[in-house]
Structure 1
Amino acid sequence: MVFKRRDRRPIWQAVADFFWPRGGWGRAFTYVKHRVRRLPDPPHRIARGIFAGIFVTFTPFFGLHFFLAATVAWIMRGNIIASLLSTFVGNPLTFVPIMAISLQTGYFLTGQGHALGDEVHRSLGGKFVDAGRDLKHNIWAIFTDERADWSHLLVFYDEVFFPYMVGSIIPGLIAGMIGYYISLPVIQAYQNRRKGVLKAKWAAIREKAAQKADAKKKQD
């Protein structure tokens, strides 16, 4: 296979690289920035894609961020590749603050903050675990005589997923707009500079060709 790794990484190495890529997050960020700037599309379309990717990272639809980012970028007529690369904003270093901001905003908007109080913070991890157990049990119940139990999943939806989903909209829009307005002039400047460099190279090539032609005429 063309894209198959020659050296198969052990599972522990793959997990470690997910949380801390080889070369560090700074190098990974530089790589993504370089790829985004070199995309062959108008700056405003690339910036729209960046907005879509950043916005989607604030949503609780983990595992679907690529698909959702591409969909939002397509609806906005933005660059789809830029949207996929911009989901890099959501990574193991940022998911915790992103989740905290989205949840707190969601609790405020839905009015659950006062009702739940500090209990949410103490049991948030437990709600994830309980929901996972319910999901595993219910999948197993399909193939056995056991009875499905949705109680913990309903609690997870009411107290975690729904407020997370509602609360992700405002900070996602704000972060996406910041990414849009920061990236747009940067990409414009980069593309203009790149066009200038290419134009200068072509001018030098034409001048060199003209000099060779003149030299050949003189020899003849």
Structure 2
Amino acid sequence: MSERQCRLWLTPRYWFRRLVKLRATPHDVAMGSSIGVFVAFTPTIGLQMVIAGVLATLMRTSRPAAIIPVWISNPVTMGPIFAITYWVGKLVWPWRMLNGQGEMTEASELMAGGLLMHGVDAMIMMTVGGILTGMICGAGTYPLVKWMTQRYQERGCGRVVQVRA
């Protein structure tokens, strides 16, 4: 593989084009990508591709379309994603984490080593925040990917797949 091909392979545009070019109905591609985006926001590192594949299988939608968006949570984006999901979870979760002195624990304290002391509470907040954030982002992904896939297939660039009965 040449250096140019390697650089192309690492770009988000390449993966988005692969997603749109999948040979499935626009609904299946869009539903699969929504599942993948949803799972990408959950704190299930190491299991995200498996979870997305299982959910796509259970919902009878495109497994590749579900697995591709999971890669938005990678070592570079994981910190910001988890910070956002923690913040959202902290806003909606009714119980608050307290440190040893009965004061609120801030995210900066958690990142500075307090995560081990408050690990379960932090994971609950990140899970709740990840589910909410994932639902919102996944719901926004569906119409965009469906429109892009329909447009790609209607232009004759890809094989149009018949909707199954």
TM-score band, normalised by shorter chain: 0.7 to 0.9
Q: Which residue of 1 aligns with 2:120?
A: 157
Report how far residue 114 of structure 1 moved: 7.9
2:51 aligns with 68
Name the residue aligned to 2:7.
23
Structure 1 runs (4+) greater than 6 angstroms displaced: none
Which has the larger share of helix? 1
Q: Which amino acid aligns with 2:140?
A: I
Which residue in 2 is equivalent to 1:203? none
Equivalent runs, 1:179-194 vs 2, <5 Å: 179-194=141-156
CA positional deviation for 1:105: 1.5
Q: TM-score, normalised by structure 1?
A: 0.61
Residue by residue over 1:57-108, the C-alpha shift from the partner in whole angstroms, topping out at 9 and shown as x without a partner, is 1101100000111122222222100111111222234222211121111112
Partner SS state of residue 61, structure 2: coil
Contact 1:66 1:87 in 2 (8 A): yes
Report the Cα distance in structure 2 between the residues aligned to 1:193 and 1:28, rounded to whole angstroms: 24
Partner of 2:162: none
**TM alignment of 1:13-162, pairs within 5 A:** 23=7, 27-113=10-96, 117=104, 119-128=106-115, 130=116, 152=117, 155-158=118-121, 160-162=122-124
Bigger RCO (CA 8 Å, 6+ sep): 2
Q: When the two structures are superposed, what TM-score results if normalisation uses the length of structure 2?
A: 0.79
Identity of aligned residues (%): 28
Please tell me whether Structure 1 or Structure 2 has the larger radius of gyration of its CA atoms. Answer: 1
User: Greater CA deviation, 172-181 or 95-104?
Assistant: 95-104
Q: Which runs of 5+ in 2 are unaligned?
A: 160-165
Point out where structure 1 has 5 or more consecutive residues left out of the alignment: 6-21, 131-151, 199-220
